[in-house]
Amino acid sequence: MQEAFGQVVSHGYGALYRLRNLAIAVLLTTGSSQAQTVTIAALGDSLTAGYGLQQSDGFVAQLQGWLTEQGADVRVVNAGVSGDTTAGGRSRVDWTLTPDIDAMIVALGGNDYLRGIDPQVSRDNLDAILAAGKQAGVEMLLVGLDVGANYGADYETAFEENYVTLAAEYDLPLYPDMLQAMRQQSADPAQLGALLQADGLHPNPRGVALIVSDIGPWVMGLVAAVE
């Protein structure tokens, strides 16, 4: 997490010496005290919100459990809204980034694709979300999507490259595809159905568990960046 540094006005070597000693004392005190809980906001859509699932089976609850099992002192905040587009995320990112938020997972874009929204529009919205996170000084993890060619190869390429380009521009880690763990588990669409809810679109508890176990180490990296 970025820190704000104030300007130090020097009044000679003695002042700098005392300032150095004070800084060392603060670092020693901080290091000996118990680390504060890292709070992560998961900004997303139905995949983040846990659509169709018991609260305990959703992405945020399972991710919270996974992180706790790894010994991480983390609180994951569910900032997912079912049906949300990147525009929706953009409209609420400012009030999502409350002062207690240390990091943010940005997992949006699936509904943009389903609606055939212009990839440039999606890019602009994601850009604004990441800019807000940067302005707030929080660490971020961008989550991409591997989409189909329903709207043509050019659309597919432009849509997927949005995430790659923005991750590079903001120097962020990019988890390539929210559903990659499920795809890797079962390349056969028929078998993939065993990991989905009855709607054939949203992951069931087993599918969510696969997603969490795969993205979990990335989130641990996010926690480490904050600490």
Q: Indicate which residue of 46, 84, 112, 122 is catalytic.
A: 46
- Tokens encoding 72: 């991480």
Q: Indicate which residue of 45, 112, 202, 214 is catalytic.
A: 202
pLDDT band at 192 (very low <50, low <70, confident <90, very high): confident
Instruction: Please indicate whether residue 202 is annotated as part of the active site.
Output: yes
Instruction: Please indicate whether residue 124 is annotated as part of the active site.
Output: no
pTM of the model: 0.83
pLDDT at 14 over 60: no
State pLDDT tens for residues 45-101. Answer: 999 999 999 999 999 999 999 999 999 999 999 999 999 999 999 999 999 999 999
What's the confidence (pLDDT) of residue 185?
Answer: 81
Q: Span 9-21, mean pLDDT?
A: 40
Q: What is the mean pLDDT of the chain?
A: 87
pLDDT at 5 over 60: no
What's the confidence (pLDDT) of residue 6?
Answer: 35
pLDDT at 164 over 90: yes
pLDDT at 21 over 90: no
Instruction: Please indicate whether residue 46 is annotated as part of the active site.
Output: yes
pLDDT band at 3 (very low <50, low <70, confident <90, very high): very low
pLDDT at 122 over 90: yes
Rounded Cα–Cα distance for residues 187 and 207 (Å):
14
What's the confidence (pLDDT) of residue 124?
Answer: 98
